[in-house]
């Protein structure tokens, strides 16, 4: 069956005979990167002692980044592959799925969060994750002389949050949706898993300032 390769792979992992999962590969490659100090000036500019982004530090950093990306890409490919393998069956991508009350509430709450975060990236990015919290919990500062890349990433982040919020709100208005639409929140959660891994659990190694996102 379509699940057989994934089932066998999972058994090898659980039995201890399969060690090199994407997460393990990423961790070992990250461990090879040099430790640096976390220093910024009053304007929020990163000092020369702070590393660049992980993917641009070294070949191992680039490979570790690729390894972490296998988490969201792999999860989406597996889910889509299962659905494609059940053509005209209950798990077909076009099969109807009922939007339950719990699903509707979750979609609305997630949509409200996303629709509020989008403008923050363009209007008050320095206040993220939340306004009025202590400075030590803020994600960072805007450099004194941001370039076009920083500007574009702020706009594109706002765009992606806005588009996802619209999709979630529209899904919440329906009694039934096609199964493929639910791949969208699954994909978002899968990417969140990857981000949580490198931001929080491995943040002291992956972060350019060697400080995890708390």
Question: How many of the other CB atoms lie within 10 Å of CB of 194?
Answer: 21
Cβ within 8 Å of residue 98, ≥6 positions away:
175, 176
**pTM for the full predicted model:** 0.74
Phi, psi of 95 (to 5 degrees): -70, 145
Quote the crossing angle between the two packed helices 59-84 and 183-196, to the nearest 10°.
160
pLDDT given for residue 10 in this prediction: 42
Query: Which residue, among 149, 160, 128, has the nearest Cα to 53 in the 3D structure?
Result: 149
* Inter-residue contact 45 to 80 (CB < 8 Å): no
Burial 164-185 (b: 16+ CB within 10 A, else e): bbebbbebbeeeebebebbbeb
**Of 25-34, 40-49, 104-113, highest mean pLDDT:** 104-113
End-to-end CA distance of the chain: 42
CA dist 73 and 68 (Å) reads 9
pLDDT given for residue 14 in this prediction: 39
Cβ within 8 Å of residue 86, ≥6 positions away:
92
Tell me the per-residue pLDDT of 102-116, one tens digit each, with 9 for 90 and over.
999 999 999 999 999
Mean pLDDT of 53-81: 93
Mean pLDDT of 182-188: 95
40: helix, coil or strand?
A: strand
Tell me the per-residue pLDDT of 4-16, one tens digit each, with 9 for 90 and over.
444 444 444 334 4
Tell me the per-residue pLDDT of 122-140, one tens digit each, with 9 for 90 and over.
998 888 887 888 877 788 8
Percent share of the chain, pLDDT over 90: 52
Tell me the per-residue pLDDT of 200-209, one tens digit each, with 9 for 90 and over.
999 888 898 8
Average pLDDT, the chain: 81
User: Above 50 in pLDDT, residue 2?
Assistant: no
User: Above 80 in pLDDT, residue 193?
Assistant: yes
Q: In this structure, are strands 96-98 and 176-178 parallel, antiparallel, or unpaired?
A: antiparallel
């Amino acid at each position: 069956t379509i699940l057989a390769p994934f089932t066998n792979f999972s058994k090898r992992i659980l039995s201890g005979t399969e060690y090199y999962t994407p997460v393990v590969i990423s961790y070992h490659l990250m461990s090879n990167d040099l430790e640096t100090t976390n220093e910024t000036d009053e304007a929020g500019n990163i000092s020369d002692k702070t590393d660049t982004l992980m993917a641009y530090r070294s070949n191992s950093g680039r490979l570790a980044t690729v390894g972490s990306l296998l988490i969201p890409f792999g999860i989406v490919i597996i889910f889509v592959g299962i659905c494609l393998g059940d053509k005209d069956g209950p798990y077909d991508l076009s099969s109807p799925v009922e939007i339950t009350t719990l699903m509707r509430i979750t979609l609305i709450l997630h949509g409200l969060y996303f629709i509020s975060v989008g403008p923050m990236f363009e209007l008050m990015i320095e206040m993220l994750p939340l306004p009025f919290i202590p400075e030590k919990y803020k994600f960072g500062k805007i450099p004194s002389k941001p370039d076009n890349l920083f500007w574009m990433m702020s706009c594109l982040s706002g765009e992606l949050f806005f588009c996802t919020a619209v999709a979630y709100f529209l899904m919440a208005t329906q009694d039934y949706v096609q199964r493929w639409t639910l791949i969208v929140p699954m994909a978002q959660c899968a990417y969140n898993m990857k981000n949580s891994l490198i931001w929080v659990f491995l943040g002291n190694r992956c972060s350019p300032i060697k400080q995890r996102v708390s």
